[in-house]
Amino acid sequence: MTEIFFNRLRVILLDRDGVINHEPGPILNPEQFVMIPGSADAVARINSQGWKCFVITNQAAIARGDLNPDVFGQITDKMHRELQKSGAHIDGQYFCPHHPDWKNSRRLTSPVPCLCRKPGTQMLEQASSEHGFVQEEAVFFV
């Protein structure tokens, strides 16, 4: 049964900022996290159709030192609460805390790229290996 389920697994990968919530700039605290009207309802429809839904997001403000990982967690909690109001949920979130020009709040003298920052594919690969889907299946990235 599991194999059949995984063979038919359909997946939607969503960016967070500008897709789920408004993106006036980096979101640095829960107050700045404001849902885009209709986005939670859209996720609820994804859920009800049996698609898995993951958030894949770059959060370079962490590398810059503008966003504490604990505060990022609070923002994530708010996202979950806002989604729940519409009966929606996501099945997981993957985020890249890096920026090639920054590390631990300091500007680097020469860039050090990571593998996870989009358009890098490491977050997608991690999601697919942890949740048993392959990109040849029905996977869409918004």
* Binding flags for Zn ion, 56-95, as an x/- string (CB under 5 A): ----------------------------------------
Q: What is the Rg, in whole angstroms, of the alpha carbon atoms belonging to the chain? A: 16
* Shortest reach from residue 88's CB to Zn ion, in Å: 27
Check binding of 98 to Zn ion (CB under 5 A).
Answer: yes
Catalytic residue among 15, 66, 91, 101: 15
Question: Total residues contacting Zn ion (rule CB under 5 A)?
Answer: 5
Check binding of 116 to Zn ion (CB under 5 A).
Answer: yes
15 is catalytic: yes
Angle between helices 39-48 and 69-85 (to 10 degrees): 70
**Residue burial 65-99, b: 16+ Cβ < 10 Å; e: rest:** eebeeebbeebbebbeebbeebebebeebbbbbbb
Binding site for Zn ion (CB under 5 A): 96, 98, 114, 116-117
